[in-house]
Structure 1
Amino acid sequence: MILILLTADKQIIEIVIGVLLFILTVRLLVNYQPLFAASKKNSVVFGSISGIFGGAAGLYGPPAILYLLGVSNDAKQSRKNIFVFLTIESVFLGAYYLFYDMYTVQHFHITAYLIPFYAFTIWLGAHKFVTIDKDRYRKILMYMLVIISVVLILNSLYRLSLLSH
């Protein structure tokens, strides 16, 4: 797998990741039956896939979110698990970036600018979650994953077309 990541074209990898994410998400949208068994093995597998997708395309969250949505029909538990995963992932990435001196002043300016929007969307999500039924919550998350996968595919195709000219 590492050999593929090192030798394959980045845009091709992103297209493959986007297509896989799209197919699995649409599969979950069409059929709400759990796709995966909740197990330590599957958690490790999807955690590894998240790491690979993150390293290759910056998409750490979507594979884990898809797994967490695919193992349970309990929206509250899925939301808690997704929140914990994304928080831990963000802390580790932040520490990694800090350790390797990957931050610039521009990153801090962007962060300062986006914090109010981030805080508002967290508040809005928490506020709306208590009033929304579990099926609608799952559909909203899955539609967001579909949008992410389509944007990734289209962006990669566009960059690939620019490279070929």
Structure 2
Amino acid sequence: MIDIFAVLPLSLLLFACAITFVGGFVKGAVGFAMPLIMVSGMGILIDPQTVVAGVIFPIVVTNGMQVARAGLGPAWDGFKEHWRYVVVVCVMILVSAQFLRSIPADVMFLVLGVPVVGLCTVQLIGWHPRIPPRYRRAFEWGAGAVSGALGGLAGTWGPPTVLYLLALDTPRARQMAVQGVIYGLGSVMLFLGHLRSGVLNVQTWPLSALLLVPAILGMWLGFRLGDRFDQERFRRVTLWVLVLAGANLIRRGLMG
């Protein structure tokens, strides 16, 4: 606990736990957005590099829970179909994570905020690209590179993955399986990448480990209560809140 308080005072630690609980709940209820919620919410008051470090363990464990809940068979089938995208995402997460510590704080707020606002807005307006079959392989490589770069720097590669799968007209059941693989393997790469970059270190890993508690509790509650919500309305409200939080991160990046 001494190490944790050296990173964050009690008030900010409780704030981070509350944001993480909300992120876990949303992930359990509708299956997405925990990294976006943690990054945009915690980033309001907490240093960006500390935010990314705090996100790592909750992402690894909750993505593992999601994969296990969906089943390993469908996940393996999804990997075989989209292995190029998965491999590029994982490699780019490892590579881009190494640049995080060299980015100034003001720029990091933009790195965190712009993808949140852009990706949530795209989902709100319902737009997704259409990719002809002859361009599929090039699209897999390019989309994987963008998703992985965002993942290593901002800790989130979920929304680009959703857009990628929609662009290929992937059936919903297969989408869930592929997302599970990409989120699960990507989170392991995020852990390894930031272990090497130094973002996850002896000072920050206790914080990330502590945030597992509210993340798992929130996800458990989301699993139990998710079926009681109008999921589409809940999803849209979540996206609007994320847009506002992301806009505030952009404001901090521009105004210093």
Match in the other structure for 1:29: 124
Q: Which runs of 5+ in 2 are unaligned?
A: 1-98
In 2, the alpha carbon distance for the partners of 1:63 and 1:41 equals: 19
Could you tell me which of 128, 134, 156 is aligned with 1:60? Answer: 156
SS in 1 for 2:221: helix
- The reply on whether 1:136 has 2:236 as its aligned counterpart is no
* Paired residues of 2:121 and 2:243 also in contact (CA < 8 A): yes
User: By how many angstroms is 1:84 displaced?
Assistant: 3.5
Q: TM-score, normalised by structure 2?
A: 0.44
**Cα RMSD, aligned residues only:** 3.9
Match in the other structure for 1:95: 192
User: By how many angstroms is 1:86 displaced?
Assistant: 2.6
Q: TM-score, normalised by structure 1?
A: 0.61
- Percent identical: 21
Q: Which runs of 5+ in 1 are unaligned?
A: 160-165
Could you tell me which of 211, 223, 240 is aligned with 1:114? Answer: 211
* Paired residues of 1:19 and 1:149 also in contact (CA < 8 A): yes
In 2, the alpha carbon distance for the partners of 1:83 and 1:144 equals: 24
* Paired residues of 1:69 and 1:138 also in contact (CA < 8 A): no
Match in the other structure for 1:50: 147
Match in the other structure for 2:7: none
* Paired residues of 1:49 and 1:63 also in contact (CA < 8 A): no
